[in-house]
Structures are given as C-alpha cells and as structure tokens.
Amino acid sequence: MTDGLIAPHGGTLIINLASQAEQQELRERAQALPQIVIGSRQLADLEQLANGAYSPLKGFLNHADYESVVNTMHLSNGLPWSVPVTLAVSSKQAEKLQEGSEVALVDQADELQAVLTLEEKYTYDKRHEARQVYRTEEEAHPGVKVVYQQEDVLLGGPVRIVSLQQQNFAQYRYTPTQSRQLFAERGWKRVVGFQTRNPVHRAHEYIQKCALETVDGLYLHPLVGDTKSDDIPADVRMRCYEVLLENYYPADRVLLGVLPASMRYAGPREAIFHALMRKNYGCSHFIVGRDHAGVGNYYGTYDAQKIFAEFDPALLGITPMFFDNSFFCRECQSMASQKTCPHGAEHHVTLSGTKVRQLLREGTLPPREFSRPEVARILIEAMREPVA
C-alpha cells in the first residue's frame, strides 16, 4: 500500500478535505452555523489537516491531547507529537458555542474554509505552554508572542475542510499523496527530507549531498507559510532553490516541493514536528543540522538533535540524520565540518548572517566557497528592489 515507502504517522494518511458532494452539503449547512474568523496560521493548519500532512490529526487538539502534547510531546494515545495544533477564541465567543455542535470557520473575507465539530472548549495556561514548547516565557520570542496574543479559550474537535486559499507556488505544492506518488514513480524508497526557511548556501548543499549519498532521493522541502518579517521572502527563496537545482544537483535524484506550514520557531520541538510532517510526505530520513528551527539564543546549538533521544525510534518512525556546522576549508580545499577537518578556524570560510546581508546590500558577491554566485545574484537583486 505504501509502494515500499515509509508508512504515514499513525499508519494511514488522514485526509480531512471534504469530497465535492460533501463540500456542497457543508456550505449549505454552514449558512446557519455560528462563525469563527481564523487567521493565517490556522489557514495553514487547515491545509495541512486537509492534505494529510498532520496525520493522524483529524482536527484541532482536544483537551487531553493538548495537555499530553504540551507536557509529554505525545498525543494521549502515546504517539509522538511535539507541537500543539490549536484554535483559540475569546471567552465571549466561546460562551455562544455548544459542545457537540458545528462551527463554521471562515477567512478574513468571510469565505467558508472548514466546518468544525466542537467536541470541547477549554481554557489553558499560556505561560505553561510557552515554557514547555518554547523553553522560555519571553514575549521577545516570536512563537511565545503568538501564544500570548491568542484568545483565552481553545476549541477542540475534528474538521472537514471545504476549500483552500489561493495557493502560491502551485506547481510545487505537492500533497503527501502526490509526493509519495512521485517518489514511487522514481523508484525511491529511502528519501531524505530537508527543511529550510532560508536560501541554501554551500554548507546546506554539502549536508544535503552527504545525505543523498546514502539514500535514493532528496526532497528539498522549504517552508513557505508565515515566517518572521526579517526572514527572506518565500518567492525569493524559491528562485534561489530553482537556480541551485538547475545547476548543481542531479535532476533525477532531487525533488523540490513546498511546505505550506507556518514557522513556530520552537527549536527542538519543531525539529520533531518537521520530521513527522516529512514522514507523512513519504520521507524515511530527515536532516537535522545546527540550531534547527531556532531563533535568537533560546536553544543550544545541537538541542534539536539531542531531543530525538527522548523518543522511541519505532514510534517516531522516521530516521534523523545529524550534521555538524559545515564550512569550506582552504587547507582541505573542500567542504568539511569539525568532524572531518583538522585545521583551525582561520582556514575556514565562515560568514555571519549580518556580514552576508551587508555584502548583498552592497551588491558584492560573497566568496564562492560560501554561496553559489547564481544564488547570491538573486539575493542581491531582491535586496535592491524598492520596499513597497
């Protein structure tokens, strides 16, 4: 049934997108239902729920699953799940909703997106969630800030998705069903997934190609949902990925797709979350490098690798591939890491993010050992574009 690919998390892809006939029925029913307006993160969550990327979830977490995920990084049935997927409303809104009834979820334009069967409404401790999931209570952390800005009551229950937003990068927006089909058509069984919210520079390219030496294919799977305002926009990053694959990767061994999820910046916990999603997309392996999904100084450099030891590998299912920070060594005359290079830092080509941005703003190409010139030119051009 899986064409030799890894089974989805929980054993089956849970597709929560309603059929055409069901969509029509839900649209008619929704006219008489109470409405909740949802934001961009929940819209992204609905897409992941619709296409099976959040398998085995059928909707937003109920109270037992929420508490279990926050406190143990597992669903109440014992299956690993590290980041709560929730829908928050105000106390005033919650008062008008009956458990056991249905609620229409609409976007900012009042377009129906999904119908939620409300199993539970419950309060929660925002600071406790912040401490557990993000390892800090500081509002300066972008993930914590979102939690604090949420309303005070969570709605739990299954959803049936009626429609999805107009999608960017449609040609790359493979569902887990589609990516699995593409892997199978290519004869891939061992597939390594790579998560990124940044352009791919030589260090990323190096670890991807190291991983590719041991598997059948690479799924380059950048996240294109909500990110921080100072992260490089998704359309610019996609142009970087396209030119990189065109010039430096074997076409029959690499597939570029997009992940429409929003970034949480939850560091170690988000590494698990990202791995589980890639498992649903059909990846048997997942690359975890330095400071995966990190922000600021909230997490240790390799905390996102260490957290995998806290899970039963059989229940997790997907195999992590850990990599040290990589660089070009002028003495070795090759890409390397501390594991493979005997030379001192003075021989390594490493640049801070601040230095790279400075060079790009000046229209100066970073050293070829740091970034492919084709990628750097796209970034220089983007930084020269006037800000709207």
- Please state, in angstroms and as integers, the Cα–Cα distance from residue 46 to each residue in 52, 63, 354, following that order: 10, 19, 35
> What is the CB neighbour count within 10 angstroms for residue 361?
12
Domains in the chain, ordered, with CATH? 20-161 (3.10.400.10), 170-384 (3.40.50.620)
Average pLDDT in the chain:
94
**Residues designated as active site:** 197-198
Question: Can you tell me the distance from the alpha carbon of 277 to that of 298, in angstroms, rounded to the nearest whole number?
Answer: 23
pLDDT tens figures, 95-146: 999 999 999 999 999 999 999 999 999 999 999 999 999 999 999 999 999 9
With bands split at pLDDT 50, 70 and 90, how would you rate the model's confidence at 347? very high
With bands split at pLDDT 50, 70 and 90, how would you rate the model's confidence at 311? very high
pTM of the complete model? 0.94
Least trusted range by pLDDT, from 142-146, 208-212, 259-263: 259-263
With bands split at pLDDT 50, 70 and 90, how would you rate the model's confidence at 384? confident
pLDDT tens figures, 21-33: 999 999 999 999 9
Q: Residues 121-145, buried b or exposed e (16+ Cβ, 10 A)?
A: bbebebeebbebbbbbeeeebbbbe
pLDDT of residue 166: 66
Least trusted range by pLDDT, from 48-52, 77-81, 89-93, 198-202: 198-202
